[in-house]
Structure formats: structure tokens, C-alpha cells
Structure 1
């Protein structure tokens, strides 16, 4: 995204902690005066219906359900797992059926803007200030204007210059399309540039259209000026002096100076690629040290040399997967798309692969196959990745029509027919189910029984519709349950022994027909006046006994299989010993060598599997420590005035060190669900020692810079 310089900028105190922020609350409110300087738009005005459109030509529906509280629909809230919100797509009334109308994920549509006003600065024109404290990532305002194509944009540049306009208000929406807020726009046009901004711009999809929003980069205090990094090219305008007053200020907006030192990537691309601020700063220093001139080589403010220098890793968390998928859903740069696909291809964790499917994965890849249709090698990699994805219902495949897209590829590219047909054959074995409607959820919950919408399902489970009632389905285990799966649900997977299945089904039927409709541990809403009676306690005890019996049966079956496998391996070893003993000629020796080569190959396979297992364990331990180490580090940030990046890097280093220690003690041990108080105490002690050393080095470095 690019913005042209809107106006000159006044000196502002550098934002190095709360005490250093400048408060403009005392300045006279100039909002009404500023509004008379342009034509106010309620929404962006599009030059034609064919521009401003998202790359997806169909609406994306989330999996959330209505959740009313005090007369307000709390579905898709900021802290929910709403697929649309996580991939920067707003839910739309009438299209997102399950979450209901007027959910929490409609900030652009509801115009839920922050409380801001316009004031006059000392050395510049108007500026925007916060009238109340704003939280990190809070939506501030939409950047509105006339959405035009590039040829019109170029013509307006000349026209505005001829008319004597000093300041332009253009922002790139996507490749070949711009928002022009020069004559028609909204208050967001007055947000000034800063080389160390407190806000950022992000692109969202709203009802099929792309819209640009300004969001808080950090906590913004009342009275503070709201700024973002224009990351501009001059577009022919005269370079303007920058007065932001930051220590990293490069002096001018626009022109070669700005181009050399501006951000190397738009924020959404940088987030999706996992790029940190210090990565760019380090690269710029290295280039300048080598005397290499830094230039932007393509549109959209992407420095290709910088991107090429990055060593990208696989997505590490659900948040990283969401950021990658949000960009791929709207991708307008094929080069960046390839880089992001590489991050997905390297994922080993099955939980994260499941998230790829949830974040509109099949729809996304159906579009990407069209984008990269001429790159046969990349298409083959995409097909291989799709083969690795965990089993799910067939609904997403059918609705996205990705199977039809692959059929076309097979017809056009015979060399991809083998893997393509293998993928289609795999998908054909999947089952299709109807989504649960709001009415069906309400019908299933009559009488105040368990509220299905509030159940947090374990990994791999989803709710389907079968015979007019909701069911819990796990495609990987080929298992259906009438009641929510819990920690013991894995005993109900499909076994080869029909008696085990029969007993498991009977146990769950008893549970479903009990007075409460479900075990009290699973209920989140039960009839208020119902009290467990003696009959219920008897049935509950019987159910527990049946579950234990089913578990014992399952364990017995596993022991039998292990015993048979051990006996088979023993026979194989005995047979091999006999062959060696009876080998009297060269033919027998050759046969032994061939067998030895085969066994070595199998051994290599086992070692490879073991290595993959080790990588998965390492990832699990990293994820385990990452759930609480950052919280322990919070106090050090405030006490020692450390930046967010310092804390993040320390957390990453500590997590890796603790993981290495755990794996050294026991290479096969998996992390517990939650840390014990004893474990927390040990980790805190380790963190304390680590941070004491870090802070000493940090302070020494600061002193050396001062000197």
C-alpha cells in the first residue's frame, strides 16, 4: 500500500515510553473547520463496479453461531476463533448464516470508529488526535475516497499539479487501483506520516470489496496524535520535509531518500512472511556497508532483493497460519504468493494443517491453482501439499469446486495425472454432511439442555447434520458421536473388533438418553430446576463402568496386535539366521546381500520417521513453553523499558533453550497439557537468571552507544 504526502509534518516528541508522548488535548478542536475543506463520503465511491473487488469471487462464511448477551450478538468477537476475522474478512448479514445478523465482526459496516478529532499543528496543517485511550490493534477509522484505476490515477496527478494542489491524498488499494481522498474522503485523510508511527493500515475484505482501515499499532494515549508510515513513492510530486522528530527520521517524505529508508514490505506481507522490524534494519545496514544502492524494483512497495534474502521458516502457530492465509486469499503478487506457499509446505504439525483447511483452505487453493496454472512445478507442489492435509468432510471441497479445477489440470497436464487422480480418489472417500442451521441448534437445545454452540471441540472434531439431528464427527478416526467428545473420546474410534464398537455405541446411547442429555461435566447449560436422582446416579455409574470396559477391550486388542507383530519379527529374524547358516554358494551370499540392502533401506526409513517424530516433539515443547513464558517476561518490559521486539526475541530464545533441556532429559517425552506449579517455579527461576544476564548486556550496549 502506498500513500502520497498529504501535508507537511510538525515536530513531535519521539515515542520512547509513555512519558515521552506529546499530548495535544489542549489544542483547539478544528474538526468542523477541516470538514469544510473536502466533500465527506459515507463510503468509498467506486469509478466502476469492476474495481475494488477482492480476488475471491464468492463470499466466505465462518463457523460461528449466534450468542446473544444483553440483546447484542456477541458472535465472532475479537477473542473468538472466527475464521473470517482471523483472515481479515468481515461477516455479512444474510450471507454468514450461522453467526447471525449484526455479529461482532462488522466494524467497517457498522462504522465502529474510534473517538478522534482534528487539530491544527504548529508547523503543518491538520492532524488527527485520539480523544480517548486506544488499545493495541483497535480499529480507528476507514481510509475512504474515490476508488479509481491506474490510468485515471496518473491523469489526476497531472490535473492536481496543474490546479496548484500542494498535497495529494492517494493510497494504493491493490495493484492498478487507488483510493483518492484529495477532493472526496473522510477524516482519516488527515492522519500524518511518522517514521516511528503508532498506527498501521490493513486491508480487509467486506462484502466482496477491499477496504483499507487504520488500526492502533500499540496502545495510544488520549490526546496523542495518530500517525502511520506512508511508505511512499513520490509519484512525481516534490519531496517534502518530514518533521516527525523521531530518531530514525530520514528527513523527507517522497523522493530517493524516502525510498531508500522506507519499509521494505507492506505490513500485511511482512506479517505473513514472519518479518520483524529488526530484519529490515539489519538488511539496510548490510547493504549500505557494502555500498549497494537500495531501490524498490516493483509496485506495491516490495523490495525484491530484501525478500530474496529472507530465510523463511514454516508457520509456527495458528496466528501465523491465519496471517499467511489472509494474504493468499487476496494475493495480487505471485512472487510473494510463492514465498508464503513455502511456509505452508514446510508445516509438520497436523493441528496447523487442519487450520489451513479451516481458514478457507480449499477455496484459497482453488484460486491459487488458477493463478499458478502455468507453473507446473509449483502446481505439483500444491497437489502434494493437498494430499498431506488431514481428512475432513467433503463439504469444503464441493463448495470450492477445487476437485473440478484439478480435473481440468489433469486433462491439460498429463504428467500431473498420477498425483491428481490420487488426490481426487482420496477426496471421493470423504463424506458430505449438511451444515447445522440456527433453527436446528435451537430445536436440539429445547428444554434448556446443553448449548451446542458453546462447545469447544477437540482437534479433528466437527459438528455435522445426520437424520435431522446434530452429530460429532471425526473424519480421521471415522467416528460419529451423539454427545460432545471429551478426553476419553479416543476410546470410541473404529476398532476391528465389532464387540468394542457395539459396547462403545451402547455406552454413548445410554449417555444420550440420560435425564440430563449429557454428562454433567460436559453441560454448560442444563435445566435450572432439574436435580440428579438416584436412577441417574446408577446410570452414570453403569456408563463409567462400560466406558472402562470398552477401554480395556481396546487395550487388549492393541496388546494382541503388538504380540503378533513381535512374533512375526522373531520369525523373520530366525529365518534370516537359517539362511546365513545354510549359505554354501555365491547365489545364497548374493541373496543375503540383497536382503541386507533392503534392511538398510528400511532402517533409513525408520531413522527418517524418528527424525520427523523428533521435530514434531520439539515443536510441541516449543508450543507448550510459548503459552506462559511471554507472560513471565511482561514485568521485565515495564521495569527495564524494553521494546516489544526485545521481549519477543528473549521469549523465543528461552523457549528454544527450555525445549532443548527437556528433550535432552527424555527424547520421547511429550509435554503436559498445563504446567504444574513446580514447573512454573523452575521456569521463572530460569527466566530470572537469563534476563539478569540479558539486562546487563543491554545496559552495557546502551552505555557504549551513549559514549
Structure 2
């Protein structure tokens, strides 16, 4: 089942009464015996399943432990990785800490589900507990294969009379086949009014397909999503979803035409609605034109070309566009999405673009459209229009190096590139906020982890202290700016926080400690806190030393690898130079031989015009036969040509023989024939 639906549907039909299947027998163990269960996808080759943008993207969330659990990057956060469908990775995403809440695929945080036997659809999957809206349910796993293998397996499974296929498109030319090896997600059935959807995420550089709840799913409810498939010529199957809006069939020609126009996530990012799709389909049918899907692109090129998307109007629009732009590899889709960003006038939305890995995304577009002067100019103009921020994002993405290269390569853009680089040169670079900064800030009763700043504001590090910075306004504050939210202040400790007892008369509370006891208690607490801080500092220092030693070891290992690679590269270059020289020598020798043959042919022709006439008198006097005369002529011409080539292999004969040349040829011919006749006479006497 190849999936188009990878984000929540744009419109949901009226919800009918929910069917509960909690009384049906649990068939999970029986279902697991019908295939090989996987813990992660199997890849036919290492390159399959790789995200187009392999560079890991770090979020800017902060570690937030509560009751021993790191709450960073949770559903309610503004985690830029989570917003752009990228999972954080331990050891790579620094400030949010290890085991944050944006690691659902890696931690296999699956919902509690079970397999049961449906009446008409074979196995199905039901919820064993209530599942909240947008909760991660399960990863769709299997063997990741190329399109050629996918088509071969379609034929193979059809020949084996398999009733159910379990295919899902991962990206252009790559498919997940869960037929023989997969996960329980393979048993999720199709519905025309589903309660779940499929989303494509980037996890440690690999693309993953996850099933998520579209709404709250009750315990015992069947979990379904819209296959929205293009069955690649497979026979249409009757749909048994039993929904009021059911189209009747799954796959084949009866599948909705809209399924072949755009994958759902791209449609959402382009702002394409179902009404727009239906209108275009109706127009094409009225013209008697066939609607075809380009298999290589997984969308209808003609439809995409007809779409003129409006500029982004909200942060949600920007988020959808950026999440697709970071994964898309098709120029047409990328250009249409960039046009939505290009039309933005609102500075708040520009800040949203920058926040959602904007500079990394623009670098990807510059490389994708390399050589397209018009698009490159629009990208540079867009970058110039972005508001001033810190320089950190520019430096980490290395887009400044690409602009320098573009300045040298595209002369018409040299002035714009210089203007952009000059603008960036005025930006300030700040140290990234780390755990130590958060600890220091918490001592000042400000929790940096829980402050949501207005657009344009960032938390930076200056003179060893974190502070709030707005590059556009050139403003720095020690306290959160106006408009900040989710700020928590700690209440200072006082002697009224100590243990209390009740007054027996009126039941009111009063301090149990007197002033002297309170001072001792306070001093003891301060000493304990100081001791704890010192211990933490020692642990951090020890961890820092270990980290530096590890980094130095990695650096040394890397240097060795680089040296070995350079040595190997030099050997390869030397071998390449030798091979190239031998090739050139052979070429030169062949050319020289060709020239020699050409000159030789000319001399042969030159002497052939003289020698035969000189031999006719010998033939006429019957001193030699006709055949002997011809052979002698050939031999004399060959000898004379050889003599000329020895003198100068490049010199060609004159157009007409001179009198002197004729005389020399005649003299040589007579001398040669005298020897021939003498030999003939000697043989005759012996006989």
C-alpha cells in the first residue's frame, strides 16, 4: 500500500458512531507468526532510506528534568526539530540533553495495540488503551527496496496468489515492503474516514514512516488510515471500511483521481485544498484529457505547474513549508514552496523561517538550483530581506561560504552577494547557552528553559552571563522582554518555610523555629547547597576533561584517517598520471604512425608514376616477363620510398618530379635491373 497521506487530512467528514472491538479475541501472537517481526527497517543497500539533507540539525531547546524525566522537546514545546519532523539524537542535540521527548521512533514509544480478526478485512489493529490526538502509534517497518525490486516483487507476490500486499512508498524510487518482514503496523487497515495518518520523519539521517492518531482513539477502536494508493496497475479491491463517505473500491481505476495529484504533506505545504484538486480534475475531464501520475515524481507535474500558491500567512504555514523543503528533492516542488516564502512581508514570519533551520534550507536550495541565475538571485534577495539575528545560524550552516562561491561564479550576482555578506558581517556571534548557564540563571530565579520569547528575541551568552538579545532592535536585556510567556519564578526561602505546628487554641500555624534556630537551619541548608554545587562543578569538570580527551582522541584518529586518505589519494593520482601519460604516448605514436603511413602512401604513388615506364623496355626485349616486371616495379618503389622516409618521415613528395629526380630514379632502376638480370643469367647457366 503506497501512501500519499503523511499529514493530518485537511477536512474530516462528520464522525459516525464509533465501533468498539474490545470483545474480539486477541490474535496478536497468531498474527506475529505470519511474518518476521522487525525492530527496525532492513535496507537493501546503505544509501537507501537516507534523507536528502544528511546534515544533522540541532534544536535550541534546553534540558528540563522533572521527577527524573527530561521534559525538553515535548508536544507543547517550540522545538524546531519537532516542528520540522526531525528527531533529536543523544550526543548530537546538545542543549536539550539526552533522552528528550522528541525521540519516539528511537525509543520505540509505541501505543498499546493488539491485532484482532475483522469480519471482512482479515486482521486489523485496535487500541488497547485510549490514544490521544497526534500521539505516535507505531512505526511502519519492512524491507526498504528500490523501485525495480518493488515491481519485481509485485509480480512475484501476484504469482504466489498472495491476498494482501504491504507496500508503502518511502520516497521517490524507494519503497517499504512489509509483506514478509515488518511490524504490527502492517495490519492497520484502510478507511475512507480514518482515525490515524502517516507522517514521514527524519531519524538520525534516515527517513521513517510513522502512524499517528488523527483524533482521540478510544480503547477497543480499530486503528485505520487512508491508504490513498496508486496501485500501479493492480486490480481494484472492494473497500470494506463501511464509512458513510466510502468510495467503494480501493486501488485500480476506481480510486479517486486526487490520489494521483499530490502527496498530502506537499499539498498542505503548497496550500492546495481538496476543492482546488477537484476543480482541476473536473476541468481536465471536461476537456476529455486523461489524468496521469508521473511515477518518477510521485505527483502530477501538470497539476503542480498550474498551482500558484499564495505567500505564507501564518507561522503554521511557514512550519508546513519548511518541513517539506528540508526533505524535498524535486526542483519544481522546491521552487513552488520557496515562492510562498518569497512573498512573505511579515517580519514575524521571517523570524519563523530563520528559526526553522532557515539558513540550512536556503543553502540546500542554492545547491539544488546551482547555475539557475534567476532562482539564485531570488534566494539571495530573500536572504537580504531577512531580519537581523545573531550570526550563529549563518556560521553553523556555512551558507556564507556558499554565497562567497556564488559571488565568484555568478558575476551578475556579485553586487547582491557582496551586499548580503556585508550585512552578515555586522551580525554578532554569541556563545550558545549550555547547562551551566541554565544553572546560573536558575540561581537568579529565572528558568531559561521555560521562557517563550517574542519573535526576534534570543537567549545569548555575554561576559559569562545569559541575557536576552534582539539583533534587529540592537537591544540587550537582563530580564525577559515584554511579551514573554511561561516564566516561572522561585519563591525565596524564609523562616516561615520551616516545619510548623498548630496552636491548640485557634488552629492557626506559627513558626516552629526561633530566630537563632532559624539562622542555624539556614546556614546548614546553605552549606549543603554549597557542597552540592561544588560536587556538581567537580562532576562537570571531570565530564569536560573526559569529553576533551575523547575529542582529542577522535581528532587524532581523524588526522590518521585523513593522512591515510591523502596518501591513498596521492597514489591514485600518481597511477592516474602514469595511465594518462601512457595513453598520451599511445595516442602520439598512433598519430605519428598515421602521418608516416600517409606520407609513405604519397611517395609510393609518386614513384609508381615513374618506375613502371622504365621497365617496359626490359619487358619489350623479353628479358623479363610481365608479372616479373610488375613485381620488380613494386620492389623498386618500396625501396625508393623507404630511402625517402629515412631522410625525413614528415616530408611529402613534390607534385611533379624534377628532371634531376627522374634521372636518379632511372639510374637506380637500371642498376637494380642489371643485378636482377645478372642473377637470372647465373641461375640459367647453373641450370
Which residue, 491, 494, 517 being the options, matches 1:529? 494
CA contact (8 A) 1:173 1:179 kept: yes
What is the CA distance between 1:204 and its match in structure 2?
Answer: 0.5
Matched residue, 1:133: 130
The reply to whether residue 195 of structure 1 matches residue 192 of structure 2 is yes
Residue 325 of structure 1: how far off its partner (Å): 0.4
CA distance in 1, matches of 2:473, 2:3: 51
Larger radius of gyration: 2
Q: Distance in 2 between matches of 1:203 and 1:191?
A: 17
The equivalent of 1:76 in structure 2 is: 73
Give the distance between the partners of 2:438 and 2:140, measured in 1 at CA: 39
SS at match of 2:461: strand
TM value normalised by structure 2: 0.67
The residue aligned with 2:596 is none
CA distance 1:218–1:88, change in 2 (3 Å): same
Rounded to whole Å, the distance in 1 between the matches of 2:61 and 2:208 is: 23
2: CA distance, partners of 1:454 / 1:251:
50
SS of 1:262's partner is helix
Does residue 223 in structure 1 map to residue 220 in structure 2? yes
Which position in structure 2 is the counterpart of 1:542? Answer: none
2 CA distance for matches of 1:440 and 1:256?
A: 61
Q: After superposition, where does 1:25-44 map in structure 2 within 5 Å?
A: 25-44=22-41
Which residue is 1:486 aligned to?
482
CA distance in 2, matches of 1:202, 1:530: 54
DSSP 3-state at the match of 2:137: strand
Give the structure 2 partner of residue 296 of structure 1: 293
Q: C-alpha distance in 2, partners of 1:477/1:530?
A: 44
Q: Which moved more, 1:260-269 or 1:436-445?
A: 260-269
For 1:2, the equivalent position in structure 2 comes to 2
Q: 1 CA distance for matches of 2:165 and 2:406? A: 46
Contact 1:140 1:215 in 2 (8 A): yes
Q: Which residue of 2 aligns with 1:271?
A: 268
- Indicate the SS of the match to 2:131: coil
Match of 1:150 among 136, 144, 147: 147
User: Are 1:66 and 1:75, in contact at CA under 8 Å, matched by a contact in 2?
Assistant: yes
- One of 106, 110, 122 as aligned partner of 2:107: 110
Q: What secondary structure does 1:65 align onto? A: coil
Q: Is the 8 A contact 1:86 1:322 kept in 2?
A: yes
- Which residue is 2:18 aligned to? 21
Q: Does 1:175 align with 2:200?
A: no
> How many residue pairs are counted as aligned between the two chains?
488
**Alignment of structure 1 residues 356-367 onto 2, 5 Å:** 356-367=353-364
Give the 3 Å change call, closer, same or farther, for CA 22–305 of structure 1 in structure 2: farther
TM-score (norm. length: structure 1): 0.65
CA separation in 2, counterparts of 1:482 and 1:395? 20
| Kept in 2: contact 1:23–1:222 (CA 8 A) | yes
Equivalent in 450, 457, 460 of residue 461 of structure 1: 457
For residues 48 and 355 of structure 1, do their structure 2 counterparts lie closer, same or farther at Cα, with a shift above 3 Å needed?
same
For residue 322 of structure 2, give the secondary structure of its aligned residue in structure 1.
Answer: helix
Distance 1:196 1:3 in 2: 15
Contact in 2 for aligned 1:259/1:295 (Cα 8 Å): no
Distance in structure 1 (CA, Å) of the matches to 2:246 and 2:452: 48
Could you say what secondary structure the match of 1:157 adopts?
helix
Contact 2:13–2:193 (CA under 8 A) maintained in structure 1: no
Q: For the structure 1 residues 238 and 441, does the alpha-carbon distance in structure 2 shift closer, same or farther, using more than 3 Å as the test?
A: same
Secondary structure of residue in 2 paired with 1:171: strand
Contact 2:173 2:296 in 1 (8 A): no
Query: How far apart in 1 are the matches of 2:247 and 2:342?
Result: 38
Q: What does 1:243-392 correspond to in 2, within 5 Å?
A: 243-258=240-255, 260-262=257-259, 264-299=261-296, 301-392=298-389
Shift in Å at residue 526 of structure 1? 4.3
Q: Which moved more, 1:449-458 or 1:75-84?
A: 449-458
Measure, in 1, the Cα distance between the counterparts of 2:220 and 2:260.
Answer: 27
Kindly indicate whether the alpha-carbon contact (under 8 Å) linking 1:445 and 1:452 is maintained by their aligned counterparts in 2.
yes
Provide structure 1 residue ranges, at least 5 long, that are not aligned to the other structure.
5-14, 490-520, 532-707
Cα–Cα, structure 1 residues 26 and 299, in superposed 2: closer, same or farther, change >3 Å?
Answer: farther
Give CA-to-partner distance per residue, 1:386-407, whole Å, 9 cap, x none: 1000001111111111111122
Asked if 1:207 is matched to 2:172, the reply is no
Three-state SS of the structure 2 residue aligned to 1:411 is helix
